[in-house]
Amino acid sequence: MTDVRVRFAPSPTGFLHVGGLRTALFNWLFARREGGTFILRIEDTDRDRSTDDAIEAIVNGLHWTGLDWDEGPYRQTDRLALYRQKAMELRERGKAYWCVCTPQELEARRKEAQAKGEPIKYDGRCRERGLTAPAEPAALRFRSPQEGQTVVDDLIKGTIAFDHAVLDDLIILRANGYATYNFSVVIDDALMGITHVIRGDDHVNNTPRQVALFKALEYRVPHFAHLPMILGADKSRLSKRHGATSVLAYQDMGYLPEALVNYLVRLGWSHGDQEMFSIQDMVEKFSFDHVQASAAACDPEKLQWLNAEYIKRGEPRRLADVLRPFLEKRGYDPRGPVQPQGGLEAVVPHLRERAKTLVEMAEWTMPYVTEPVAMDEAAAVKFLTTAAAPSLTKFAERLKTVNPFSKETIEPLVQAVLNDEHLKMGAFAQPLRVALTGKTFSPGIYEVMAILGKERTLDRITQALQRIPSS
């Protein structure tokens, strides 16, 4: 292990967002690439907005994608006393001061400043008052540097300079005793030994405030890497309007975690023109040199293409495992009597070539795992006709005696029926397909019969024939 220590520090105030997952991924990749430590820290100090459900969604999302952490999850609400203690230390050293301005007063003065066109920031009223132990509710404010600049060498954005003149004397401890975000982050990053802060660039403006706090506390300042925003396909800020943004929703829509991770790594990072990366590959190739600084636009079609590619290459047993819950949702009982020959593993190789999602694959698998077959009525009307009845009847008759039941033994029977009835393959195969699967679309009919087995094949042809009115 090296001394590289990074953290994913989500606020559990909503579902785990794809942007959050990408931040976690880049932290994880960097940690794994460098042989460092990846820490999960839940920033739950906003008591009104943090929920246990959101924490669970974060943990589940990370488990699902395989982004395992080495330490944590830490919870900031377990560390409140520590933040208070550190805030008081700053006050004792004259780097923070009590402020008794009420929210109403602050608001009134802010409006006044706005009307006069002055900068909107704390006006420093309590800065030099030297209050020691105020009786009224008081917040602790950090005495921010007023002159000079903070220069940050961001690993992605390059050198960024921030003028101290714009920095507020920010509150580090609220009147209710809770530390604020900027303060607790700095204490945690310092005490957890974080060497690289990798996060979304919506936090760039917090960086000079945090650097000032690191310095005032006499902690080593970590490196910073701010990731570009993810935009919708239309280049506006990613939102619900652009479709699903929660990681769980992608799971529900039948995406494989490796496809989502591959997609996310390419949002802002590249390695030549390579599009597909295994996790191993990403870990080997990842570096900040090739993370772009500008925002990255979503491309749902590319995600779907990647998903189809990963499904195509999916190992049958694994695909069967990830497919099973989607089938169960549709009523399949994995321990019930209706099972395809050879199990789900034998079905997926016939479907994985064309399925774009597991939802689609589940839909196509249903005819093999349920009885009776769900018949597409329009297909039945079109193909299960009196004209189709004689060939289906003859075929069923011949099938009864076939043994063993395999493509090699069935093929000559089909040929014989086609010859007897003077039919072309298509004219026979389509009614047969509808009889066997209830659909007009399926793998090759020999594969379908192999999956169903002899008994179910015969049953389905018989049931289909019963639907056809005798002429």
Residues serving a catalytic function are 240
Span of 5-13, 222-230, 266-274, 289-297 interacting with ligand GLU by CB under 6 A: 5-13
Which residue, 196 or 456, is less far from ligand GLU as judged by CB? 196
Q: Which residue has the tokens 């101290």?
A: 164
Backbone phi and psi for residue 237, each to the nearest 5 degrees, phi listed first: -55, 135
Interface with ligand GLU, residue 199, by CB under 6 A: yes
Six token digits for residue 197: 């802060």
Q: Are 187 and 322 in contact (CB under 8 A)?
A: no
Q: Are 69 and 37 in contact (CB under 8 A)?
A: no
Separation of alpha carbons 33 and 283, rounded Å: 5
Which residue, 12 or 314, is less far from ligand GLU as judged by CB? 12
Interface with ligand GLU, residue 203, by CB under 6 A: yes
Smallest separation, CB 234 to ligand GLU (Å): 24
Which residue, 185 or 347, is less far from ligand GLU as judged by CB? 185
CA quadruple 201, 204, 107, 49: dihedral, nearest 10: 50
Interface with ligand GLU, residue 31, by CB under 6 A: no
Which residue, 187 or 449, is less far from ligand GLU as judged by CB? 187
Instruction: Calculate ∠ Cα 93-94-98, nearest 5°.
Output: 120
Interface with ligand GLU, residue 12, by CB under 6 A: no
Helices marked H in 217-357 — which ranges? Answer: 247-252, 257-265, 279-285, 300-312, 316-329, 344-351
Span of 8-16, 31-39, 124-132, 343-351 interacting with ligand GLU by CB under 6 A: 8-16
Interface with ligand GLU, residue 350, by CB under 6 A: no
Strand 5-8 to 149-154 pairing: unpaired
Interface with ligand GLU, residue 91, by CB under 6 A: no
Separation of alpha carbons 331 and 326, rounded Å: 9
Which residue, 11 or 339, is less far from ligand GLU as judged by CB? 11
Q: Which one, of 304, 238, 314, lies nearest residue 278 by Cα?
A: 314
Which residue, 185 or 414, is less far from ligand GLU as judged by CB? 185
Span of 3-11, 51-59, 141-149, 252-260 interacting with ligand GLU by CB under 6 A: 3-11
Interface with ligand GLU, residue 43, by CB under 6 A: yes
Smallest separation, CB 61 to ligand GLU (Å): 14
**List 4, 5, 10, 362, residue binding ligand GLU (CB under 6 A):** 10
Smallest separation, CB 156 to ligand GLU (Å): 14
Backbone phi and psi for residue 382, each to the nearest 5 degrees, phi listed first: -75, -40
Span of 6-14, 48-56, 326-334, 362-370 interacting with ligand GLU by CB under 6 A: 6-14
Span of 9-17, 110-118, 169-177, 237-245 interacting with ligand GLU by CB under 6 A: 9-17
Establish whether the linkage from the previous residue to 372 is cis, with ω within 30° of 0. yes
> How far does the chain reach from its first CA to its final CA, in angstroms?
79
Let me know how many helices (H) and strands (E) the chain has, helices first.
18, 12
459 sits in the region (left: phi over 0; alpha: psi -120 to 50; else beta) called alpha
Smallest separation, CB 7 to ligand GLU (Å): 7
Q: How many CB atoms lie within 10 A of CB 370?
A: 17
**List 152, 185, 259, 267, residue binding ligand GLU (CB under 6 A):** 185
Task: Please give the distance of CA 341 from its chain centroid, rounded to a whole number.
Answer: 34
Paired strand residues for 227: 200
Which residue, 198 or 464, is less far from ligand GLU as judged by CB? 198
Six token digits for residue 186: 């700095």
Interface with ligand GLU, residue 393, by CB under 6 A: no
**List 6, 9, 126, 323, residue binding ligand GLU (CB under 6 A):** 9
Which residue, 186 or 448, is less far from ligand GLU as judged by CB? 186
Smallest separation, CB 39 to ligand GLU (Å): 11
Which residue's beta carbon is nearest to the bound ligand GLU? 199
Separation of alpha carbons 398 and 414, rounded Å: 9
Residues that bind ligand GLU (CB under 6 A): 9-11, 43, 185, 199, 203
